[in-house]
Amino acid sequence: MGTDPDEDLVRRIGTGDPVAVRAMVARKLPRLLALATRMLGDPAEAEDVAQETFVRIWRHAAGWRRGQARFDSWIHRVALNLCYDRLRKRREWVTDDLPEQVDEAPLPDALPGDEENRVATALQRLAPRQREAIVLVYYQEMSNIEAAAVMQISVDALESLLARGRRSLQVMLTGDGSDD
């Protein structure tokens, strides 16, 4: 495995270098925010996930050693785990108070004609592992090998998730699963 482009920064963060911390945030924040926003569908929660990811980098930098995965893969795994924690908490939240009336009007971000919002809404409806695979490969621009390493699965399993995710998105966005 070649040299990890983040290795020097991580080493410097481990020694408490504030300049290295700022450089790491500048380098990684946009991608982590994009990842968490696409996984959670909520920019505020995405900011919380990104912040917690950087806290973990700061806490664990001194003990991090280059191994089989690059540092970038490690922080993506940390951010994804934090996203899954939040998604689990959403499912676990139970209330006895039901709304009196459901508002049937479409949400402003789900109005027809806004393709980006339609895709984002459909992405949120995918099974979480399919969404993770799609986000890593198509939005985070990772290779299949890198995305499989982050997800801790084989490349074949990743490709299967991608195929199922693409089919599901096609059905949601076009109403059918046929190839045009």
pLDDT surpasses 90 at 79 = yes
> What residue ranges do the domains of the chain occupy?
1-91, 113-180
DSSP 88-119: HHHHH---S---SS---SPPGGG-TT-HHHHH
Instruction: Provide the CA 73 distance to its chain's centre, in angstroms.
Output: 12
CATH topology of domain 113-180: Arc Repressor Mutant, subunit A (1.10.10)
pLDDT surpasses 70 at 107 = no
Question: Which residue, among 50, 52, 54, has the nearest Cα to 24 in the 3D structure?
Answer: 54
144 — pLDDT class (breaks 50, 70, 90): very high
Side chain identity at 167, as an amino acid letter? Answer: R
Q: Which residue has the higher pLDDT, 107 or 43?
A: 43
153 — pLDDT class (breaks 50, 70, 90): very high
The class of domain 1-91 in CATH terms is mainly alpha
pLDDT surpasses 60 at 110 = no
- pLDDT tens digits, 117-137: 888 888 889 998 999 999 999
- pLDDT tens digits, 34-51: 999 999 989 999 999 999
pTM: 0.69
User: From CA 47, how far away is CA 120, in angstroms rounded?
Assistant: 17
Structure tokens at 165: 């995710």
